[in-house]
Amino acid sequence: MRKNLLSKLLKLFILAILFTGCSHNPHLFSKSDSISRLQKELDLIFSDPSIATAQCGVAIKSLATGEIVYFRNARKALVPGSNLKLFTTAAALLKLGPQYQFHTNLYMNGNLEQNGVLNGDLILSGTGDPSISAVFHKGNSITVFENFCDSLKKRGVKKIFGRIIGDDNYFDDEPLGAGWAWDYQSDWYAAQISALSFNDNCLNLLITPGDSAGVLAGISIIPSTDYVQIENKLITIPGEKTKINVHRIRKENRIICSGTIAPDQKEVQETVTVENPTLYSAHVFKEILERRGIAVDGEAADIDDLHDFNYSRETARRVAQYNSPPLREIITITLKESKNLYAELLLRTLGKESTGVGNAAAGTKTVCQILTGMGIDTTQISMEDGSGLSRKDFITPMSVVTLLTFMSRHPFAKIFYDSLPVAGVDGTLAQRMLGTAAAGNVHAKTGTLDFVKALSGYVTSRDGEKFVFSILINNYKVSHRVVNRIQDTVCERLANFVRR
């Protein structure tokens, strides 16, 4: 008996070594012929020579049986890119609830005379709302500010002897995430973070060719504003391909547009970030007030630059409030369109609601507490921001699969599932897996940085079995397109899987 017991213990010990030492070991999870074939096929896919230099972490789990059907470096910490948004949005949904709304207030800090003159300041006070944006207002980014103007006119305001002040103090002053690179700060996906955000803290440039060779291109700004200065060096040249470069000088609102544009080029839209979104919001609001007939004697200002200014939300009179769409709609845009700014605002909102501190550290602490409740070992991951733009973030495929499994059984499961991009249909997966069994089937979050490709989500097999999967690939030398193909092939194989 003792000899048999020792023999069994030895076998268990060997299995434990195999489990920790091998990239995957299919026989630990299932012995069915269909699963064995699947594992061999996936081995072959991930042995593709094009990703020989890469680190691949993969975990695939059956929600029907609970078995891990494929395991390859699944406990290895890898850079996730925007797959980190799965953690942020799931935590926000659980902590705040799907009906949570943000509130942006307009305060009048002064006396309104009978002649319609306000002797005092107007204050735009933000609480982290990402929805003051064209995305949520049928393409019109200034809808909220126009409505605020209408509210003031109904109160009889005709002139303001004071400033238009942007108040972003609901959050700490953290315009960028930890580990963000300096060289993409003018790109839309690295928009600065502020509790008072407007138009995704960006502006759009509409570019058209000049009317003859050698003439500068036409450039218009949306929303119309003089907040930025455009240096137009973009030349119309026949016979040349259109090559447009748009770059904002760091810490300035000076935008350089250079390159060439063909005479027959259709209108091109470029998006660029702004410096100081809080001041941008106040500045554009002031311009709208003036265009709609309310004169403003003072300047637009960021509250952080007014060291002698103080007001109380209890004594200042609130004259208008904008309430955002419910959180479920904001999360859907965050995940389907991979909006980094929205994820960062959600992260800081989690910190503020949980601890009273609106910064990334408080937000990540809150997220990690929620993840721990899901059964995720947060000592094995690193979360420096909410969007995954930081190179300091790392997670494991198993942590993602654990989160996806938990969310599949939560009362908010359908909300979360429906918020993910759908292969061949919408969001960041609209052009992937077209014409395959995975199209319209796979609901998954993409993630992309230089040398990083991630894809994690849900797929249903041909005989109705639902799987959760996470594929994190780092440090490859080929194009993103090649890695997309590998990930898509895995999803297609799972979509066609049948147990026999």
Query: Is pLDDT of 438 > 80?
Result: yes
Structure tokens belonging to residue 77: 């910490």
Compute the average pLDDT of residues 407-416.
98
Q: How far apart are CA 93 and CA 89, in angstroms?
A: 6
> What's the average model confidence in pLDDT over 156-172?
98
Lowest mean pLDDT among 5-14, 188-197, 354-363, 478-487: 5-14
pTM: 0.92
Is the pLDDT assigned to residue 128 strictly greater than 60? yes
Beta bridge partners of 58: 72, 471
Whole-angstrom distance, CA of residue 229 vs CA of residue 252: 9
Q: How far is CA 16 from CA 12, 20, 251, 306, 429, in A?
A: 6, 6, 54, 62, 38
3-state SS, residue 366: helix
Distances (CA, A) of 110 to 107, 118, 160: 9, 7, 10
Contact 126, 281 (CB under 8 A): yes
CA distances from 475 to 42, 55, 89, 361, 472 (A): 20, 6, 26, 28, 10
Closest CA to 457 of 137, 181, 89: 89
pLDDT of residue 320: 98
Average pLDDT (225-237) is 97
pLDDT confidence of residue 315: 78
Domains of the chain, by residue range, sit at 26-97+329-495, 103-177+276-325, 199-273
CA–CA gap between residue 171 and residue 178 (Å, rounded) = 16
Tell me, what amino acid is at 428?
A: T
Q: Quick check: 262 pLDDT over 70?
A: yes
475 closest CA partner among 55, 93, 122, 131: 55
Average pLDDT over residues 59-77: 97
Using one digit for the tens of pLDDT, what is the confidence trace for 266-277? 999 999 999 999
Mean pLDDT across 202-223: 96
Distance, first Cα to last Cα, the chain: 39
Q: What is the pLDDT, as a whole number, of residue 410?
A: 98
pLDDT at 231 exceeding the cut of 80 = yes
pLDDT at 4 > cutoff 90: no
What is the C-alpha separation between 364 and 88, in angstroms, rounded? 8
Output the pLDDT for position 29.
45
Q: Which residues contact 154 (CB under 8 A, 6 or more apart)?
A: none
The residues near 450 (Cβ < 8 Å, ≥ 6 apart) are none
Q: Mean of the pLDDT values across residues 108-124? A: 96
Evaluate if residue 314 carries a pLDDT over 80: no
The token pair that represents 323 in the structure block: 């309430």
- Dist. CA 221–CA 141, nearest whole Å: 12
pLDDT at 432 over 90: yes
**pLDDT, tens digit, 9 for 90 and up, residues 20-54:** 333 444 334 445 789 999 999 999 999 999 999 99
Angstrom CA distances, 174 to 185, 248, 344, stand at: 14, 19, 10
| DSSP line for 391-412 | TT-BB-HHHHHHHHHHHHTSTT
- 10 pLDDT tier (thresholds 50, 70, 90): very low
Contacts (Cβ under 8 Å, ≥6 apart) of 33 = 500
Give percent above pLDDT 90 in the chain.
91
Which residue's entry shows tokens 């993840």?
A: 371
Question: Residue 31's pLDDT is what?
Answer: 55
Q: Is it the case that residue 233 has pLDDT exceeding 50?
A: yes
Enter the tokens of residue 378.
């947060």
Q: In what order do the strands lie in the sheet with 55-62?
A: 68-72, 55-62, 466-474, 452-460, 443-449
User: Domain 103-177+276-325 classified CATH 3.50.80.20?
Assistant: yes
Q: To 10 degrees, what angle do helices 480-495 and 33-46 make? A: 170
CA distance 32 to 449: 37
Strand 164-167 and strand 117-125: the pairing is parallel
pLDDT at 118 over 60: yes
Name the strands in the sheet holding 202-208, side by side, starting at the edge strand that comes first in the sequence: 218-222, 202-208, 268-273
Residue 18 has pLDDT above 60, yes or no: no
State which H helix or E strand residue 342 sits in.
helix 340-355
Question: Token match 């300096």: residue?
Answer: 182
Tell me the mean pLDDT in the region 246-259: 97
Q: Are 335 and 112 in contact (CB under 8 A)?
A: no
Q: What is the token pair recorded at 91?
A: 């935590």
From the list 361, 331, 380, 386, the residue with the least C-alpha distance to 180 is: 386
Task: List helix spans (H) across 58-159.
Answer: 85-96, 143-154
Contact of 240 with 231, CB cutoff 8 Å = no
- CA dist 236 and 254 (Å) reads 22
Name, in order, each residue with C-beta under 8 angstroms of 73's C-beta and a sequence gap of 6 or more.
23, 24, 55, 56, 57, 58, 397
Is the pLDDT score of 328 beyond 90?
A: yes
CATH homologous superfamily for the domain 26-97+329-495: DD-peptidase/beta-lactamase superfamily (3.40.710.10)
- Residues whose CB is less than 8 angstroms from the CB of residue 246 and which lie 6 or more positions away in sequence, other chains included: 186, 205, 255, 256, 257, 270, 272
User: How far does Cα 292 stand from its chain's mean position?
Assistant: 34
| Chain-centroid distance, C-alpha 64 | 30
Q: Is 14 a residue whose pLDDT tops 50?
A: no
pLDDT of residue 455: 98
Q: Is the pLDDT reported for residue 13 higher than 90?
A: no
Residue 196 CA to residue 213 CA, distance in Å, equals: 43
Q: What is the mean pLDDT of residues 172-194?
A: 96
Question: Rounded to an integer, what distance in angstroms lies between the CA atom of residue 93 and that of residue 346?
Answer: 10
Mean of all residue pLDDT scores within the chain: 93
